[in-house]
Structure formats: C-alpha cells, structure tokens
C-alpha cells in the first residue's frame, strides 16, 4: 500500500449545476494524453461518490504530490459564466465529502487534508478545504 500523507480536494471547474461524472472526467483526461482519470474519487451533485483511479495507483491531480496523496474531485466549482470560481457544493456533496474524508482518515490517519489551491496558484477547489476539514478524523470528530 502507498504511504498516503495528503488528501487533496479538487473541483471539476464546471458550471454550477452542470452534471458530469467520473466517466466524463476520464474521457477528458485521456484526451490530454493521460492514462485515464487522475482523481481517485469523484463526488457528484447528488452526493454519490464514484471511483476514479484505484487508490493503489498514483494519481494525476497535483504536481509533485501525486505519489503521496489521494485526489478527490467534486463536480462544480465555477459560476454559470464558466470562469469565475465559486463554491458550488450542494448539501449532498458537502455531506459526502465529509464522510469520504472521515473514512480515508481512518485508513490513513497521518494524512492531512488540503485543497489543490494550497499547492497551486489555481482557485481549485473554490473554498478553503484545509480549514473546513481540519479536525475531521480526529478522535473527537469520528
């Protein structure tokens, strides 16, 4: 098993309310010449969590951090104009993200949660994931 020290949250950078899924992202990433979807999990608008790349495989989601991280992508992240960053998470996505992070922290207790923006000049995931998810997985928050 890989030594996971980071859980990195991303957004798909798609318009608020626009439905896409892991298969769509897989197609996009293959079109970029990658072997397939770079994220390990994708959280749909309704909160359903889809599998992306197997966790045993190194992701392709955050340069210089892929070998030690798990990548999670929620669908959305920009306003209807398709450009302006916005936290578009639905209530269902927020709950699903918390649940997924809690489970991943049980499996990888030393992993810290970050947003892609903590390692890049991008706005992704369009909210402060590091602050919002701080403490998830600690004994008092299980």
Catalytic residue list: 10, 39, 116, 122, 124
Distances in whole angstroms, Cα of residue 127 to Cα of each of 82, 94, 97, 122, 139? 17, 12, 13, 11, 25
Write down the residue that tokens 């600690």 correspond to.
138
The CA distances from residue 90 to 7, 17, 70, 72, 75, in Å, are: 20, 9, 22, 15, 9
Cβ–Cβ under 8 Å, residues 38 and 23? no
């Amino acid at each position: 098993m890989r030594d996971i020290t980071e859980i990195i949250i991303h957004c798909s950078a798609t318009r608020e309310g626009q439905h896409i899924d892991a298969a769509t992202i897989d197609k996009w990433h293959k079109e970029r010449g990658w072997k397939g979807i770079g994220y390990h999990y994708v959280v749909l608008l309704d909160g359903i969590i889809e599998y992306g790349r197997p966790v045993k495989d190194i992701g392709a989601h955050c340069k210089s951090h892929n070998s030690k991280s798990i990548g999670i992508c929620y669908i959305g992240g920009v306003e209807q104009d398709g450009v302006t960053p916005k936290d578009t998470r639905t209530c269902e996505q927020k709950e699903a993200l918390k649940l997924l992070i809690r489970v991943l922290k049980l499996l990888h207790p030393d992993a810290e949660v970050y947003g892609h923006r903590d390692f890049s000049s991008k706005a992704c995931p369009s909210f402060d994931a590091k602050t919002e998810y701080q403490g998830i997985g600690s004994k008092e928050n299980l």
